[in-house]
Structure 1
Amino acid sequence: MEIAYWIVAGLLALMYLYSGGIKLVQSQEKLAPMMAWAGTAVPMSGVRAIGLLEVLGAVGLILPPLVDVVPVLALVAAIGLLVLQLLAGLFHLSRHETKDIWLNVTLVVAAAVTVWLATAVWS
C-alpha cells in the first residue's frame, strides 16, 4: 500500500507543483491562453492563492511522510486537494466549460485514491 501511495501521491504532487507554480509566477497575460478565468472571473490575487494552496498541498503529500514527521498531514493535504479540485470542477461546470472537465474528474479520482491510500498507510 505504501508503494502505491508514493506512486499516486508523487504524480499528483508533480501535477500540483506545476499547476500551482505557474499560477504563482506567471502574469495574467501568460495565464490567459491556458486559463481564461484567471484574472477575469477570478482576480489575480485569487489565482495566486489557488496556486499557493496547490503548491502547499503538493508539499504536504510528500514531505511529512518522507521525513516521518506527523505523516497524517499527508492525509490532510490529500483531503485539501480533493476539496479544491471538487470546487474547481463545480466552478468550471458553472461556466459551462465542459470540454476540459475530464481533467477535473481525473484529479478528483487521483486525490480520492490518495486519501484512501494515506488513510490505509498513516492513520
Structure 2
Amino acid sequence: MNLALWIAAGLLAVVALTGGISKTFVPKDKLAALHGGGWTAGASVGFVKTLGVLELLAAVGLILPAVLDIAPVLVPVTAACWVLLMVGAMITHGRRREFALVGLNLIYLALAAFIAWGRFGPGSFTA
C-alpha cells in the first residue's frame, strides 16, 4: 500500500509541477492557443498565475513533507485540496465541452482521492 501511495503521489506531483510551471511562466496568450488551454482566454492573468503557483505548491506538498518528515499530514491535506482543484477543472472543461479533458481531470481526481484516503487512513505516516 505504501509503495502504491508513493507512486500515485509522484505521478500527481509531476502533473502538478508541469501544470504549475506552464501556468506560472508561459504567457497567457500562448496558453490559450494550446490544446486544453482555451479556458485561459476568459481568465485574468492573475487568476492563471495563481492557479500555477497553487499547482507548484501542490507538487511540493505531495512529496516534501513526507520525505523530510516535517508535518507529513500535509500530504493528504494537499491531496484533498487537489481533489477540489480538479472538481473546478472538470466544471470548467465541461462547460467548454472538452470532455476528454474532463476525463483526464477525473483520473487526476481519483489519484488524489486515493492519496488522501490512504494517507489519512491505512497508509498514514503515523501508523
CA contact (8 A) 2:14 2:59 kept: yes
Residue 111 (structure 1) aligns with: 112
CA contact (8 A) 2:93 2:99 kept: yes
| Aligned sequence identity (%) | 36
| 1:5 and 2:8 are equivalent in the alignment | no
Q: Quick one: which of 97, 120, 125 aligns to 1:122?
A: 125
Gaps of 5+ in 1: none
CA RMSD, Structure 1 to Structure 2 (Å): 1.3
Query: How many angstroms apart in 1 are the aligned matches of 2:10 and 2:30?
Result: 27
- Per-residue deviation, residues 9-29 of structure 1 (Å, max 9, x unmatched): 000000110011110000122
- Aligned partner of residue 78 in structure 1, secondary structure: helix
Gaps of 5+ in 2: none
Which amino acid letter does the alignment assign opposite residue 106 of structure 2?
V
The alpha carbon displacement at 1:116 in A equals 1.4
Residue 42 (structure 2) aligns with: 41
The alpha carbon displacement at 1:98 in A equals 2.1
Query: How many angstroms apart in 1 are the aligned matches of 2:88 and 2:28?
Result: 21
- Aligned partner of residue 53 in structure 2, secondary structure: helix
- Per-residue deviation, residues 19-68 of structure 1 (Å, max 9, x unmatched): 11110000122211220111x22111100001111110110010000000
Q: TM-score, normalised by structure 2?
A: 0.89
Query: How many angstroms apart in 1 are the aligned matches of 2:54 and 2:82?
Result: 8
| 1:89 and 2:104 are equivalent in the alignment | no
Residue 53 (structure 1) aligns with: 54
Query: How many angstroms apart in 2 are the aligned matches of 1:22 and 1:91?
Result: 18
CA contact (8 A) 1:4 1:117 kept: no
The alpha carbon displacement at 1:94 in A equals 2.3
- Aligned partner of residue 71 in structure 1, secondary structure: coil
Residue 31 (structure 2) aligns with: 31
CA contact (8 A) 2:39 2:92 kept: no
The alpha carbon displacement at 1:99 in A equals 3.7
- Per-residue deviation, residues 63-86 of structure 1 (Å, max 9, x unmatched): 000000110010110011111011
| 1:75 and 2:76 are equivalent in the alignment | yes
Q: TM-score, normalised by structure 1?
A: 0.92
